[in-house]
Copies of this chain bind each other. A is one copy, B any other.
Amino acid sequence: MPEQYLYFQNRLRLPMHLRKLKTGNDSFDHIAHGGLPLGRTTLVAGSSGSAKTLFGAQFLAMGIQLYNQPGVFVTFEEQADDIRRNLKSLNWDIDTWEKEGKWIFVDAAPKEENIIAVGDFDLSAFRIRLERAVQKCNAQRVVIDSIGSIFTQFHEEMHTIRRELIQVALTLSRLGATSIITAERLEEYGKITRFGVEEFLTDNVIILRNVLHNEKRRRTIEILKFRGSNHEKGENPFSINPEKAIVIIPLSAMNLKHITSNER
């Protein structure tokens, strides 16, 4: 078993049932007790600008940089080209990774010429496209950013949203990759997701917050739910660092020292 899967088991000496995939972000892997659940889908919900896209991209980038794991980034909202440019501010050279076949964009963002089609986005065609991309690069990490944009066409009909999200999750599950789906939130402390069903349908839920308090903003990350696994509870502050992207300050930081010294 490759090094990156052993992290959690070694540290806490737990039996090896639900395996974790080390994201490569040490502080996150710490609060996640090892990383993201391997082969499963994690919902990352956050308000506008809460760093959902960054979190997803960092997951792929670290997979490539640290563990040589190829990844697929599905973008429903931003143009692939914009993401490439935005992520350069974090010193990730996606162009090169794309050329090396380690990073594949599935660019499902609306284009000026075919925008009318968005209204009737065909999710089954999309799933085929996703499947091909995963197989092409043998992707072990997948990010879908963000699911909210395709759901608004379902007129807030919970049942359809439930069905479509399950279908995407089942496809991802069959492909075996460890996945992140981002979802939109409208308030920092209210409903967990826009429609109030997404969180029940996914095995794992992470919340990114960007809270305004006394005219200042404070970013936090919380693992709300990991089915079948323990994890740190409650909110952990984080900052966005141009060199290391998302840096979480685990509130149980005592243990962290030990880990990071091991890791580096």
Contact = CB atoms under 8 A, between A and B. Distances in A.
A166 B251 CA distance: 40
Given A18-B89, A110-B170, A163-B119, A233 B216 contact: yes
A78 B203 contact: yes
A111 interface: yes
Count of this chain's copies in the oligomeric assembly: 6
A128 interface: no
Contacts of A156: 158
A167 interface: yes
Most buried by B among A86, A184, A192, A201: A86
Given A86-B18, A215-B220, A174 B48 contact: no
Contact of A87 (B87, B160, B186, B228): B228
A29 interface: no
Q: Which 10 A-B pairs have the closest CB atoms?
A: A86-B228, A49-B225, A17-B88, A215-B235, A48-B199, A216-B234, A217-B233, A112-B170, A152-B158, A153-B159
Given A18-B89, A86-B229, A217-B233, 18 more contacts: A17-B86, A48-B199, A48-B224, A49-B199, A86-B228, A89-B229, A110-B167, A110-B170, A112-B170, A115-B166, A119-B159, A119-B163, A148-B200, A155-B157, A187-B191, A212-B235, A216-B234, A230-B240
